[in-house]
Amino acid sequence: MRFSFPGRTPAFPVAFVTAVFSLILVFAGSCSRPPQADPAAVRATIEAVDRDFMAAFEARDGNRLGLLYTEDAKLMPPNAEPALGREAIVKAWESFFELPIPILRLEADEIHGAGDVVTSEGRYALVGTGGETVEAGKYLVVWKRTEAGWRVHRDMWSSNAPANAPATADTTAVSPKE
C-alpha cells in the first residue's frame, strides 16, 4: 500500500516506514539505559574496596587511600572545608593520621543505584589505641565505576555524638532564608 497526495510523487510504502520507525525505537531504547550490574556483585566489590580502605587507614597510607578515590573526588569531613581532588584528599587523610586513632571500621548498610554510579549508606567507628570506640557515626558515599573499578567519588560522614558547641559564622556558607 502506498500513500500519495495529489500533485506529489508517491511516498514510501507503509511497511518500509513502519520498519524504519521500529528500528529507530529499538535503537533508541537500547541506548537510553546504562548496562545494569548485578547488585550483589556491586555490593561485594564495594565491600572489598571498604576493606582496602580500612587496611590503608590502619597502615596510615594516605597515598593508598587516595587511589581509592576518583581524580575529581570530594571529601566532606565534618567541621572542615571540603577537600577537592585526589591530591587534596591525600593531604586531608595524612593530617587525620596525626590523631591517636589507629583503626577505622566501616559497615555498609544499604547500597542504592544502578549503572556507573551507586550510593552506600553505612556506619563507621573510630577505634583508639586502647581498643575503645572514640567516635561512632554514619556515612554516605557516592561511588563511581571507573576504568580502575569502583572508586569513591563523594565521601561525607558525621558523628552520632551531640554537637558540643554552636557553629561559628562562616561567610562562605549558605545564608538562611528570611
User: What confidence tens digit (pLDDT) does each residue in 122-159 have?
Assistant: 999 999 999 999 999 999 999 999 999 999 999 999 99
Dump pLDDT digits (tens) for 73-83.
999 999 999 99
What is the rounded average pLDDT of the residues 33-60?
89
Picking from 70, 54, 96, 46, the residue whose alpha carbon sits closest to that of residue 153 is 70
Give the number of other Cβ atoms within 10 Å of residue 95's Cβ: 12
Helices (H), the chain: 14-32, 39-58, 62-66, 86-96
What strands lie across the sheet with 149-159, from one edge to the other? 83-84, 69-76, 149-159, 133-146, 117-127, 103-114
Structural domain 39-159, CATH architecture = Roll (3.10)
Provide the total of helices (H) and of strands (E) in the chain, helices listed first.
Answer: 4, 6
pLDDT value of residue 18: 52
What the block records as the C-alpha cell of 138 is 554514619
Beta-sheet pairing, 69-76 with 149-159: parallel
The percent of residues in the chain predicted with pLDDT above 70, rounded, is 72
Given pLDDT bands bounded at 50, 70 and 90, which one contains residue 164? confident
